Chain A
Amino acid sequence: MEVRVTNVRKEFERFPALHDVSLDIRSGELIALLGPSGSGKTTLLRLIAGLERPTRGAIFFGDEDASQKSIQERNVGFVFQHYALFRHMTVADNIGFGLKVRHGATRPSAQEIRRRASELLDLVQLSGLEKRYPAQLSGGQRQRVALARAMAIEPRVLLLDEPFGALDAQVRRELRRWLREIHDQTGHTTVFVTHDQEEALELADRVVVMSQGRIEQVGTADEIYDTPNSPFVYSFIGESSSLPVKVDNGEVWLADRPIGLQAPPHAPSGEALLCFRPHDVELLDGCSGCIAGTVAASRRVASTRRVELEVGGERQRVEIELPVDHPAAQKSRVAFRPRRWKLFPAS
């Protein structure tokens, strides 16, 4: 099911949580809403589900306007952050709940519900746990039951709110791979919310980066990582360094020196922000046309050395990464030039 969010605004007691958000989700896609807390990602998910109503704008499921429909009518599978399993029901009853509450002819027989529940338990690899209660399950198992329960109603869209948020790192990685497999197997259009960029980039077909109630960028993991379209995305996804620079006459200047980078042809002259990845730099021996700085601090991080440099007259700090055995790591002055970089208008 294709989902279209068009110009949606959501206010809570007049405080805007989402400003004019539009998003097209393709049928069968696994898409991540990624952002820091307060970015509006969970609000967007709850709007799609029908747990909230938009203040303005509409949400379409296919060609049908779903925004005025109740959550029951939308037929979405929602997996809650803390699972929200019914504690007084067995695993099988939890999974069958959505079928049991149907009315009239659409309601399957008790036997059929049981059969469907154990089928779904097989799918989530928990066969044989039908009679257990949620309290008797581990966190990862509860997560799987919650997903099976959401899938039991044959939802048009599957929505997951921080699906792995409450689990420890090991289980997280395992479930991440498993969720991808389930998605490929069943083909549900799936939207999940996360604040973990690794999770989003690894799992999703496309990632929606959000900040302060707005969508910053939508793209594949490669697009988001390699061509961030704002300083926020640069700094939120992966490591990044930034320097205030000036663009003049097609060249990039740091204080009063050109640093050997040609500004793109359409870049306006004046103040700008230079962003680059700390590991994506070229080290130089002294220079005319480079960024040179005094080593202020140096830390070993995994297999590389991260060096903090003070550059320019205003002693701006900037981080770069060096190979551990690189001679530059011992020096007190280091000169470099970013290999891949981007200019943004100064804010």
Chain B
Amino acid sequence: MADPEIKTYEPHHESQSAAVTESRPVRWVAMGTAFAFLAVFLLLPLIVVFHEALAKGIGAYTEALSSPDTRSAIRLTLLVAAISVPLNIVFGISAAWAIAKFEFKGKAFLTTLIDLPFSVSPVISGLVYVLLFGAQGLLGEWMKAHGLVILFAVPGIVLATIFVTFPFVARELIPLMQEQGNGDEEAALSLGANGWQTFWYVTLPNVKWGLLYGVLLCNARAMGEFGAVSVVSGHIRGLTNTMPLHVEILYNEYNAVGAFAVASLLAGLALVTLVLKTLLEMRYGAEIAAARGH
């Protein structure tokens, strides 16, 4: 089961040696600085979001959330997440499976490629699709001839979201699968299981917590992505506005309550993700730590 050598990232006050313990004032300054930073940069904005959202009372808040454009933005965001997260799961598992369990040429290249979205600005990811599918783009003419619409429509938003989020599941699973090796799979095969049975009964259960963790992060990013989606969306109200884009539009129209009401939903999603993540870490810390080799 959990290898005793795998440590979770919890503070170990008891195990601190006297030699590295600083004097009291120094510790207070260090902790004070850290907390002050968190308060100013994380807590304060969060409070502001909810404060502004509720500035004109609960009634105005619920009214802002029930406007047709806002509802459409929420629906679109959920739709985009519902499409891109499962696709990411499929991609993440296949990539991790290939990288961790097999030797092949170009493996290092594939590993590097998976990290690409982390190192590229999301705006550029969006722009790539414009250059590819736009009216003057590489495939623009051909797509127009065939009546295909990707840019400034839901497919483009989904594509951009997938591009930005695809490392999340794979990056969680690769180190976990590499650590577990091929032993369990070989055992299953030797007992007569076919490839699918081996995957379903052995590989998947072995990585389920790492997978869930990756899905959680992937989902949070899919719903919250702004840059790449902004470039390909076209900002058509009620049609191609996701929640983050809708926040911007409402804010630019000086509709503070509306903007912050939608923002509060995104903040709420972040908080829920954080709580779930913490719960997962508490319950399955060792297994997840093993997955977090990076």
Binding site for B on A (CB under 8 A): 49-51, 71-72, 75-78, 80, 82, 84-88, 97-98, 101-102, 133-135, 149-150, 152-153
Most buried by B among A72, A82, A98, A134: A72
Given A87-B206, A97-B201, A133-B1, does the pair A72, B189 have CB atoms closer than 8 Å?
yes
| Residue interface bits B204-244, CB-to-A below 8 A is 1, else 0 | 01100000000000000000000000000000000000000
Sample 24 A-B pairs with CB under 8 A, ordered by A number.
A49-B190, A50-B190, A51-B189, A51-B190, A71-B189, A72-B192, A72-B193, A75-B192, A77-B190, A78-B186, A80-B183, A80-B186, A84-B184, A84-B187, A86-B202, A88-B205, A97-B188, A97-B193, A97-B201, A101-B188, A133-B1, A134-B1, A150-B191, A153-B192
CB proximity of A46 to chain B, nearest CB, Å: 9
Query: Which chain B residues lie closer than 8 Å to A84 at the CB level?
Result: 183-184, 186-187
- Residue of B2, B186, B197 near A101 (CB, 8 A) is B197
Binding site for A on B (CB under 8 A): 1-2, 183-184, 186-194, 197, 201-202, 205-206
Nearest B residue to A82, CB-CB: B183
Cβ-Cβ contact count across A and B, 8 Å cutoff: 64
Nearest A residue to B200, CB-CB: A101
CB proximity of B122 to chain A, nearest CB, Å: 37
Cα A99 to Cα B96 with chains together (Å): 29
Instruction: Enumerate the 8 nearest inter-chain pairs by beta-carbon distance, A residue then B residue, closest first.
Output: A135-B1, A98-B191, A84-B187, A84-B183, A101-B193, A78-B190, A88-B205, A101-B197
CB of B1 within 8 A of CB of A71, answer no
Known A72-B192, A87-B206, A149-B187; further 16 A-B contacts with Cβ < 8 A:
A72-B193, A80-B183, A86-B202, A88-B206, A97-B188, A97-B191, A97-B193, A98-B193, A101-B188, A101-B191, A101-B192, A101-B193, A135-B1, A152-B191, A153-B191, A153-B192
Cα A153 to Cα B189 with chains together (Å): 12
Query: Which chain B residues lie closer than 8 Å to A150 at the CB level?
Result: 190-191
Given A72-B193, A102-B192, does the pair A87, B186 have CB atoms closer than 8 Å?
no
Query: Which chain A residues lie closer than 8 Å to B1 at the CB level?
Result: 87, 133-135
Cα A250 to Cα B278 with chains together (Å): 83
Query: Which chain A residues lie closer than 8 Å to B197 at the CB level?
Result: 101
Cα A278 to Cα B187 with chains together (Å): 44
Cα A131 to Cα B187 with chains together (Å): 20
Query: Which chain A residues lie closer than 8 Å to B190 at the CB level?
Result: 49-51, 71-72, 76-78, 150
Nearest B residue to A50, CB-CB: B190
Cα A98 to Cα B197 with chains together (Å): 11
Cα A82 to Cα B1 with chains together (Å): 12
CB proximity of A147 to chain B, nearest CB, Å: 12
Cα A98 to Cα B183 with chains together (Å): 16
CB proximity of A30 to chain B, nearest CB, Å: 20
Nearest B residue to A149, CB-CB: B191
Given A87-B206, A88-B205, does the pair A78, B187 have CB atoms closer than 8 Å?
yes
Cα A152 to Cα B194 with chains together (Å): 17
Cα A135 to Cα B287 with chains together (Å): 14
Query: Which chain B residues lie closer than 8 Å to A82 at the CB level?
Result: 183
CB proximity of B57 to chain A, nearest CB, Å: 51
Query: Which chain A residues lie closer than 8 Å to B186 at the CB level?
Result: 51, 71, 78, 80, 84
Query: Which chain B residues lie closer than 8 Å to A80 at the CB level?
Result: 183, 186-187
Nearest A residue to B208, CB-CB: A88
Cα A72 to Cα B196 with chains together (Å): 13
Cα A135 to Cα B2 with chains together (Å): 8
Nearest A residue to B190, CB-CB: A78
Nearest A residue to B187, CB-CB: A84
Query: Which chain B residues lie closer than 8 Å to A86 at the CB level?
Result: 184, 187-188, 201-202, 205
Query: Which chain A residues lie closer than 8 Å to B183 at the CB level?
Result: 80, 82, 84
Nearest B residue to A76, CB-CB: B190
Nearest B residue to A103, CB-CB: B194
Cα A78 to Cα B187 with chains together (Å): 7
CB proximity of B286 to chain A, nearest CB, Å: 11
Query: Which chain A residues lie closer than 8 Å to B194 at the CB level?
Result: 72, 101
Most buried by A among B184, B187, B193, B201: B187
Query: Which chain A residues lie closer than 8 Å to B206 at the CB level?
Result: 87-88
CB proximity of A153 to chain B, nearest CB, Å: 6
CB of A98 within 8 A of CB of B184, answer no
Query: Which chain A residues lie closer than 8 Å to B201 at the CB level?
Result: 86, 97, 101
CB proximity of B275 to chain A, nearest CB, Å: 25
Cα A49 to Cα B205 with chains together (Å): 25
Cα A38 to Cα B187 with chains together (Å): 23
Nearest A residue to B196, CB-CB: A101
Nearest B residue to A81, CB-CB: B183
CB proximity of B212 to chain A, nearest CB, Å: 14
Most buried by A among B192, B201, B205, B206: B192
CB proximity of A276 to chain B, nearest CB, Å: 43
CB proximity of B142 to chain A, nearest CB, Å: 44
Query: Which chain B residues lie closer than 8 Å to A77 at the CB level?
Result: 190
Cα A87 to Cα B183 with chains together (Å): 12
Cα A135 to Cα B4 with chains together (Å): 12
Query: Which chain A residues lie closer than 8 Å to B202 at the CB level?
Result: 86
Query: Which chain A residues lie closer than 8 Å to B2 at the CB level?
Result: 135
Query: Which chain B residues lie closer than 8 Å to A134 at the CB level?
Result: 1
CB proximity of A279 to chain B, nearest CB, Å: 42
Cα A152 to Cα B193 with chains together (Å): 13
Cα A77 to Cα B187 with chains together (Å): 9
Cα A170 to Cα B187 with chains together (Å): 27
Most buried by B among A80, A87, A150: A87
Cα A153 to Cα B187 with chains together (Å): 12
